[in-house]
Amino acid sequence: MTLKAETALLGGRALRYRVRRSKRTRRIGVQVSRSEGVMVVLPWRCKLDVVPEILADMGDWLTLKADQFDAWDGPEIKQYATGSGIRILGQIRRLELVGLPTGRQRYSASLSDDTLRLEVPPIDIFDPRPVLEKYLRRIAGETLRSRVADWAERIELHPRRVIVGERTTRWGSCSRRGTLSFCYRLVMAPPEVIDAVVAHEICHLAHLNHSKRFYALLDRVCPGHREAMDWLRVHHEDLLL
């Protein structure tokens, strides 16, 4: 749950930040990145009025990080126009935006080896991000469900359900009930990286932990999974809209 942006003063400078509550975290955390800006993560029942004091106590470190990531005014917002690059299945495609004829409102997409052509309502020409997200969510659903089906046959472990949506902290997860969940933006990564994440979560159907037995299974079925995770760590911010 993300709340509206707030503002704090650090050394006389205004710092914009956001607050996110998490049922998973037990301790207050502050994260700074170019893509997210300054994010304060609170335990679910923690009071909001503790945040200004926390930021003040972290003033020197926070000032350094806000300068490093240019995060004083909030997260960096990517701009997309004809000619921009967009990653799909690991390849950077040139975005080509075309206005739909009058009377048509439903976007259409055509993907080639080097180009993603989107026909969009004229109002979306100036900010095609919502249409890009719809398109990525659609092909992510198709791609990830297909890869899950393939890996489930290989490993002989089958999930009860597959969900593809937005994930803010992890690329994938496995629930105790056998539901696999994936972040739709994973479809921007190379196929071998997608496969490694899918294999990782399917192996959790046998071992819902990161024990030696879990990694023995994952090493056997997907030997390149560590290199794939390294790629995700390095390119994390490249897979953000």
Q: What is the pLDDT of residue 1?
A: 55
Sorted by where each starts, the structural domains of the chain and their CATH numbers stand as 6-68 (no CATH), 85-133 (no CATH), 136-239 (3.30.2010.10)
Q: Which residues contact 217 (CB under 8 A, 6 or more apart)?
A: 155, 203, 206, 207
Q: What distance in Å separates the CA atoms of residue 202 and residue 159, rounded to the nearest whole number?
A: 7
Q: What is the pLDDT of residue 46?
A: 87
Burial class (CB in 10 A: 0-12, 13-18, 19+), 214: middle
- Cβ atoms 165, 181 nearer than 8 A: yes
Q: What distance in Å separates the CA atoms of residue 111 and residue 93, rounded to the nearest whole number?
A: 8
Residue type, 202: I
Q: What is the pLDDT of residue 156?
A: 97
Q: What distance in Å separates the CA atoms of residue 84 and residue 95, rounded to the nearest whole number?
A: 5
Residue type, 218: L
Which of 132, 127, 92, 126 lies closest to 112 in space, CA to CA?
Answer: 92
Which of 141, 143, 151 lies closest to 205 in space, CA to CA?
Answer: 151
Q: What is the pLDDT of residue 101?
A: 84
C-beta neighbour count of 62 within 10 angstroms = 22
Q: Which residues contact 41 (CB under 8 A, 6 or more apart)?
A: 19, 20, 21, 22, 25, 28, 29, 30, 31
Q: What is the pLDDT of residue 196?
A: 98
Residue ranges of the chain with per-residue pLDDT less than 50: none
pLDDT tens track for 117-153 = 999 998 888 889 999 999 999 999 999 999 999 999 9
Q: What is the pLDDT of residue 35?
A: 76
- The CA-based dihedral angle spanning residues 170, 29, 39, 190, taken in that order and rounded to the nearest 10 degrees: -20
Q: What is the pLDDT of residue 45?
A: 84
Output the six-digit token pair for 99: 């206005």
